[in-house]
Structure 1
Amino acid sequence: YEAARKRKAEFLALVSRTRDELAQVYSNSGTSEQKLAAKTAAIERLRMRYRHMRDRRWGRYRGYDAWFASPINNAKLAATSVYSDRVTAFLRLFDLCSGDYVRFYASVRRIGALDQAHRAEALAAADRCY
């Protein structure tokens, strides 16, 4: 269990590092072609870092190979990060609902009905409760 948690955290750190690199690429001046080349290079570095981690630190654990085998784009990187960023908040919300699934799902529905800013605020509030 702990090894799986560590691998997931390291995978998410890789994705986050690449998102940071891409944010730098997009904020810099340069032509569209230069930015595309820099984006392609950043994604290739992500793949290389993953292979290195998989083969040298994870004992060739291949649990994320399918993720890396499919195309990697901004949407995929963002979706992976958004999901991981919110898991802790939802786990804490579940705790606030005393582990009661009916209460938890009702809370999630209420939060889901909010606009984006208020959703983020509600999840942050759940995060601050601990």
Structure 2
Amino acid sequence: MPSEPRPDDRAASASEPRPDDRVASVFRFATELVAWVATPWALASSSVPLAVLSVIVLIGLPTLFSTPGDKRHVIVAVPGFVTILLVALQVVAAVAAAWVAWHAFAAALVSVLAVVTVVMELPRWRWLLSH
């Protein structure tokens, strides 16, 4: 007698609702804003075209690529780990550019913001990894 197939753990976790990340999204957006301002600021003295390109990349990639269920409008669907990598890109850009472009006190505040953002993003990232 054949045994009944067990549901795949991944399929079971895929049906879990997206975690409420309204507070985390405030920190994520603040970090994105810092990245959008600090990165071209840090690059402008070396190359204005590179500074402009950095803004296009930092704003354009997350707008174009998203995980279904994470945003209302998905232009190009990608797996969750790609969305996580895009957020990580924003966080790293914000911190690195702040240390290059701004006073150490401001850069330290950005670093704290980045750490808080990553910690608050963890439930969403767990959910994204299941998608």
Normalised TM-score (structure 1): 0.35
With CA pairs under 8 Å and 6+ residues apart, which has the higher RCO, 1 or 2? 2
Structure 2 length-normalised TM = 0.35
Q: Which of the two has greater helix per residue?
A: 1
